[in-house]
Amino acid sequence: MANNSVLVVGGGGREHALCMALSSSPLVESLHCAPGNAGTKAISTNHEVSASDASGLVELALHVGASLVVVGPEAPLCDALADRLAEVGIPCFGPVQALAELEGSKLHAKEVMRTAGVPTADFHVLTSSSDIDQALDEFSGHPWVVKRDVLAGGKGVVVTADRNEAKAFIEHSIETDGKVLLEAFLVGEEASMLVIMDGSGYVCLPPSQDHKRAYDGDNGPNTGGMGAYCPAPVATPEVLERTVEEIVEPMHAYLASQVVPYRGVLYVGLMITPQGAPSVVEFNVRFGDPECQITLPLIESDAFEMLYAAATDALAESKVSFHNRHALTVVLAAEGYPASPVKGRLIQGIPTPTADAWVNHAGTGFNAAGELISTGGRVLTCTALGKTLDEAALRAYQVLEGIELEGSHHRTDIGHRAL
Ligand code: AMP
Ligand code: GLY
């Protein structure tokens, strides 16, 4: 199994974390990333192929003799990249198109959960002929949760206590998509559970918690995630046991029994009630970003071995072990993120990585002069490990303090629920 060539698809903080984990494996001889960023460039070969160019990616995988392709974002999976790679005999970490629909269509995910008996919020599917007011009445008393049934890059969900806003979003979504979901509001605390799975078995990675709002105290607009930590104590051993029994087991039974089994990571977005009952807020068919940055470093065993096993239905025989440590990451976001991030600014002061603290590049690249610049909304994520969560937080914020990026902003309270 030695001398492997691996292609990582994507170019954010998640993909830099994947490249970091893979580059430390003695089983990986050559590492490639498409399109990558300034961080992946330092530890792999970047290729100018877009993550949305399925044909180009298959060609590249063949060209670099990839024994494994690891897909970061969901869009190429929804575009059948795994199916295309299977046609040319290259194992892919990431599910085939039919199963990527778990993220591509929220309604499909709901139907699967109903079939598999997995707990999730009640919902209505609304179309132009539905009585919207009656549905809004039924779920009143809490904020309304409205979800578009399309991949919307994090902009497809509105949670609001303003009835007019809910109604406007419903009407707009029906106009553009033909239908929309209205969901019952779930009360509780969120956590993310990443489950590596294939046809033979599954491995639950330690639970983490993201911070989706832009500003401290969970205020401001929704973002892709402003920071995360792992493990998240809200997922107590009892909650984890219930999550495995009520969600992971039935989902795995369903996904492993499909024509082509699910091979990759199932991101289970959980809501945990104050009584400790877990239910599913969403599924993603990829690692979370920034959850990936703080989960992978807690894996003690070989990352390539785990990802390759999952891509080839060999997970049941593979042993995955974890460090007994805490990890935390803080996102440094560009001015104007999430609404309209300013790009192209110089980045300075990134410290030399240590075994306990480093920077994951997210939206970074180089200008014509070869200087490091910002190229996206989430620019860097500052990651650290510690014996305690406090120690990890202290180290991550120390890393962040030295970095200069004009106009940038970050949350100062990552991990606040657990600290
Ligand atoms: P989603 O894209 O489905 O993860 O939704 C985005 C965010 O909206 C979630 O992370 C939650 O914070 C919130 N949300 C989604 N569905 C619900 C729900 N049924 N009840 C409460 N909050 C929700
Ligand atoms: N951090 C949330 C996500 O990746 O969907």
Q: Three-state SS across 8-27?
A: EEECCHHHHHHHHHHHCCCC
The residue assigned the tokens 């100018």 is 48
Instruction: Specify whether 9 is located in the same domain as 92.
Output: yes
Instruction: Specify whether 41 is located in the same domain as 95.
Output: yes
Instruction: Specify whether 87 is located in the same domain as 172.
Output: no
The tokens describing 34, both together, are 């498409």
Quote the ligand 2 centre to 224 CA distance (angstroms).
6
Strands (E), 179-305: 180-183, 189-197, 202-204, 209-210, 213-215, 219-222, 227-230, 264-272, 278-284
Instruction: Specify whether 60 is located in the same domain as 147.
Output: no
Instruction: Specify whether 87 is located in the same domain as 28.
Output: yes
User: Is residue 377, in this structure, part of any structural domain at all?
Assistant: no
Instruction: Specify whether 140 is located in the same domain as 75.
Output: no
185 lines ligand 1 (CB under 6 A): yes
Q: Which ligand is nearest to the CA of 381?
A: 2
- What does the pLDDT read at residue 417? 86
Tell me which long-range contacts 319-323 makes (C-beta under 8 A, separation of at least 24): 320/196, 320/203, 322/205, 322/206, 322/298, 323/297, 323/298, 323/299, 323/385
Nearest to 205 by CA among 220, 187, 222, 192: 192
Q: pTM above 0.85? A: yes
291 lines ligand 1 (CB under 6 A): no
Domain tally for the chain? 2
- What does the pLDDT read at residue 365? 98
- What does the pLDDT read at residue 129? 87
Instruction: Specify whether 27 is located in the same domain as 93.
Output: yes
User: Which of 183, 206, 222 is the endpoint of a domain?
Assistant: 183
Q: Quick check: 401 and 193 in contact, CB under 8 A?
A: no
Q: Which ligand is nearest to the CA of 284?
A: 2
151 lines ligand 1 (CB under 6 A): no
Instruction: Specify whether 13 is located in the same domain as 75.
Output: yes
Say how far apart CA 113 and CA 365 lie, in whole Å: 40
- What does the pLDDT read at residue 367? 97
Instruction: Specify whether 127 is located in the same domain as 94.
Output: no
* Chain segment 95-129, per-residue pLDDT in tens: 999 999 999 999 999 999 999 999 999 999 999 98
Instruction: Specify whether 15 is located in the same domain as 94.
Output: yes
140, 146, 159, 222, best to mutate for ligand 1 pocket (most atoms within 8 Å of CB): 159
- What does the pLDDT read at residue 1? 78
User: Is residue 105, in this structure, part of any structural domain at all?
Assistant: no
417 lines ligand 1 (CB under 6 A): no
- What does the pLDDT read at residue 259? 93
269 lines ligand 1 (CB under 6 A): yes
Task: For ligand 2, atom 5, name the residue with the nearest CA.
Answer: 288
* Chain segment 53-82, per-residue pLDDT in tens: 999 999 999 999 999 999 999 999 999 999
The tokens describing 208, both together, are 């983490």
CATH of the domain at 82: 3.40.50.20
User: Is residue 234, in this structure, part of any structural domain at all?
Assistant: no
The count of residues in the chain is 419
User: Is residue 58, in this structure, part of any structural domain at all?
Assistant: yes
The helix or strand, by DSSP H or E, that contains position 280, with its residue range, turns out to be: strand 278-284
- What does the pLDDT read at residue 305? 98
297 lines ligand 2 (CB under 6 A): no
User: Which of 39, 67, 99 is the endpoint of a domain?
Assistant: 99
Instruction: Specify whether 35 is located in the same domain as 67.
Output: yes
Coil/strand/helix, residue 54:
helix
Instruction: Please count the CA atoms within 13 angstroms of the CA of 376 that sit on its side-chain side.
Output: 19
Quote the ligand 1 centre to 154 CA distance (angstroms).
10
Quote the ligand 1 centre to 193 CA distance (angstroms).
15
- What does the pLDDT read at residue 62? 98
Coil/strand/helix, residue 136:
helix
Q: Is 87 exposed, middle or buried (0-12, 13-18, 19+ CB in 10 A)?
A: exposed
User: Which of 65, 99, 133 is the endpoint of a domain?
Assistant: 99
* Chain segment 259-282, per-residue pLDDT in tens: 999 999 999 999 999 999 999 999
* 347-355: average pLDDT: 97
Q: Given pLDDT bands bounded at 50, 70 and 90, which one contains residue 152?
A: confident
Say how far apart CA 25 and CA 67 lie, in whole Å: 14
Q: Quick check: 31 and 44 in contact, CB under 8 A?
A: yes
Give the domain range for residue 78: 4-99
Share of the chain above pLDDT 70, in %: 100
121 lines ligand 1 (CB under 6 A): yes
* 228-233: average pLDDT: 98
Task: For ligand 2, atom 3, name the residue with the nearest CA.
Answer: 288
CATH of the domain at 144: 3.30.1490.20
User: 97-104 and 106-116 helices cross at what angle (nearest 10)?
Assistant: 100
User: Is residue 256, in this structure, part of any structural domain at all?
Assistant: no
